[in-house]
Chain A
Amino acid sequence: MALMTGQAYIESLRELELEVYFMGQKITRVTEEPMFQPHIHTAAMTYELANDPEYREIMTATSNLTGETVNRFTHIHQSIDDLVKKVRMMRLLGQKTGTCFQRCVGLDALNAIYVTTFDMDRDRGTDYHEKFKNFLAHVQSKDLMSAGAMTDPRGDRSLRPSKQNSPDAYLHIKERTNEGIIVSGAKAHITGAINSHEIVVLPTRAMGADDADYAVSFAVPVNTEGVKYIFSRQTNDTRRLDSPLDSGNPKYAIVGGEAVIVFKDVFVPWERVFMAGEHEYAGQIVETFAGYHRSNYGGCKVGLADVVIGASDWVADAHGVGRASHIVDKLTEMISMAETCWSCALACSYEGAKTPSGAYNINPMLANVTKLNITRMVYEWMRIAQDIAGGKIITLPSEMDLTQPELREVLNECFRGREGVDVDDIFKMLRLIENMSVGAGLPEAMHGAGSPAAQKIMIARRSGIEQKRALAETIARIRPDKYFEKIVGLPETDYWKNVAARIAEQHHG
């Protein structure tokens, strides 16, 4: 099958009948729902750009399964070049949409399962990897969008999954049959869930032997019986029902359109099960996924930064202060932070490594550093965007007032900028900055792909602190330094004795 276009992707969603709820209502037509449409447009961009020769190099890849050209969001990374192109794709899509384009979770889930099932089959004699490759071939050939579903509700965080009061605090296997498994529970904060074709489920944490039923990975079509979706609220979300101008980014919205997915006695046939009780591998699949996903944030959020930096410069210019030294300084600060994060994303790709499965993984230490920087720097560059944009971003009247002729004149006077700039454009740009810097995008940068504490745990675990101690001990003359001895041509003890003698002679001689 050829790569889907953006419109073909939207068409493909129409035939899926999902059980979706939003604000107490059952939503019968997902693609017709104005609250969902901007998120669907954003996902459609990941399809549309794959068809444009200008972006094909980044947006597509050659499948290692079939040799066919596939959308990069369905590809298993086969080289360092693939890892680099992946983050370039993230930045590109951030630039084109100004928001989360939803598909990287599924991409990272596919890669994490590929890597981990290979190791499981090799060590345990299971056949998950072959099953997964069959599923992947299906995804690639149909050009499907997968929603990666990892985070469980988790209940009391001090208790392991098997010790929770409610078994549904973590998605789990209720029953095993000859034909498959039956699962129940939920997954929370799932990006792109209502406009995907497949849900790809992963465990959310490392598991012990008692938690074996919670060590489960599988894929189901989004419209599988027993699966329902509760779409999440976001800051100022219903503005898109009031006016395009007021919503800030009416084409593509903000963050990814998350949902809670409820699984009630859902049957999954064995050919779609990729882990069922192998608790020793839950930690590996989570860690592999998290590494991939954290590396992405140095791509996508930098793409968003490109947009908000451009918006900040535009607003300053529209108000006649574009060349003011403090504005230039602030914009430069924003650019510097964004490019720092971009450097991190490139570094964790270039420092990636081949896994036994043949797929390439990013450098996990650098990926965690990337995401930790994002949790801080997104807030900082958005703070500067607010600083440059001024208080108007939180006091603008609505589009409905602007359309009243008797109010329009005075509002034009209040909000006009320098000569030659259309006041409507000023409104549009200020609303865009409000959308990007005030709303749900900030905590998404904090908690998406794991909270800062999770990154710090990984960084500490991989820090090689003993090596750093040894370096310090060598310089501080606590450990022998063989190179110093070669340079001075003496054992260190003799050298320092000579130095001490020379000093004594100078002082007393």
Chain B
Amino acid sequence: MSRPALVRIRFCGGCNPEIDRGETAQQVIPLLKGRMNTTFDPNLSADLTLHVCGCAHACLDEESPSADPEPVISIQGLRVNREPVEKQDLAKTAAKALQESCI
């Protein structure tokens, strides 16, 4: 039996966020339960990454070279992977994108 994928969660600096990044991440985690594990530890070797950025600029996405294992799913304020998302759907959309990226 293969182990569940490990998702590394990273936050941007949160200088002028459109969303509550901490709350959003906490909403994503239970939606992954049983299928994926999550960590905030940058030193753990993960299978994929969730960026939780407060605004569309998404400075983590601009990081070069990227410090993250692929694939990267990015919450960018009120967007997930550049597509606009209603605030109440952010966590659900991000969780879905994470799961789909693991298939």
Residues of B within 8 Å of A354, CB to CB, are: 61, 82
Closest residue of B by beta carbon distance from A122 = B83
* One of A80, A355, A464 near B16 (C-beta < 8 A): A464
Of B17, B55, B58, B76, the most chain A CB neighbours within 10 A belong to B55
Q: Is A25 an interface residue (CB 8 A)?
A: no
Residues of B within 8 Å of A356, CB to CB, are: 82-83
Chain B 9-35: CB-based contact to A (< 8 A → 1; otherwise 0): 000000011100000000000000000
Residues of A within 8 Å of B82, CB to CB, are: 353-356
- Give B48-76 interface residues, CB cut-off 8 Å to A: 55-58, 61-62, 76
Contact A80–B83 (Cβ < 8 Å): no
Contact A80–B18 (Cβ < 8 Å): no
Q: How far is the CA of A482 from the CA of B16 in the complex (A)?
A: 20
Q: Nearest chain B CB to A300's CB is how many angstroms away? A: 23
Chain A interface size, under 10 / 10 to 19 / 20 to 34 / 35 or more: 10 to 19
Q: Nearest chain B CB to A363's CB is how many angstroms away? A: 6
Of A361, A365, A464, the most chain B CB neighbours within 10 A belong to A464
Contact B56–A353 (Cβ < 8 Å): yes
Chain A 322-364: CB-based contact to B (< 8 A → 1; otherwise 0): 0000000000000000000000000000011111100001010
Q: How far is the CA of A365 from the CA of B56 in the complex (A)?
A: 11
Q: How far is the CA of A355 from the CA of B76 in the complex (A)?
A: 11
Q: Nearest chain B CB to A129's CB is how many angstroms away? A: 16
Q: How far is the CA of A80 from the CA of B61 in the complex (A)?
A: 12
Of B57, B62, B82, the most chain A CB neighbours within 10 A belong to B57
Contact A353–B58 (Cβ < 8 Å): yes
Residues of A within 8 Å of B76, CB to CB, are: 353
Q: Nearest chain A CB to B15's CB is how many angstroms away? A: 9
Closest residue of B by beta carbon distance from A363 = B57
Residues of A within 8 Å of B55, CB to CB, are: 351, 353, 363
Residues of B within 8 Å of A361, CB to CB, are: 56
Q: A80-B62, A354-B82 are in contact. Are A467 and B17 (CB under 8 A)?
A: yes
Q: How far is the CA of A353 from the CA of B55 in the complex (A)?
A: 9
Residues of A within 8 Å of B62, CB to CB, are: 80
Q: How far is the CA of A464 from the CA of B77 in the complex (A)?
A: 12
Chain B residues within CB distance 8 Å of chain A: 16-18, 55-58, 61-62, 76, 82-83
Task: Give 25 CB contacts A-B under 8 Å.
Answer: A80-B62, A351-B55, A351-B57, A352-B57, A353-B55, A353-B56, A353-B57, A353-B58, A353-B76, A353-B82, A354-B61, A354-B82, A355-B82, A356-B82, A356-B83, A361-B56, A363-B55, A363-B56, A363-B57, A365-B16, A464-B16, A464-B17, A464-B18, A467-B17, A467-B18
Additional pairs, 8, CB under 8 Å, beyond known A80-B62, A353-B56, A354-B82: A351-B55, A352-B57, A353-B55, A353-B58, A363-B56, A363-B57, A365-B16, A464-B18
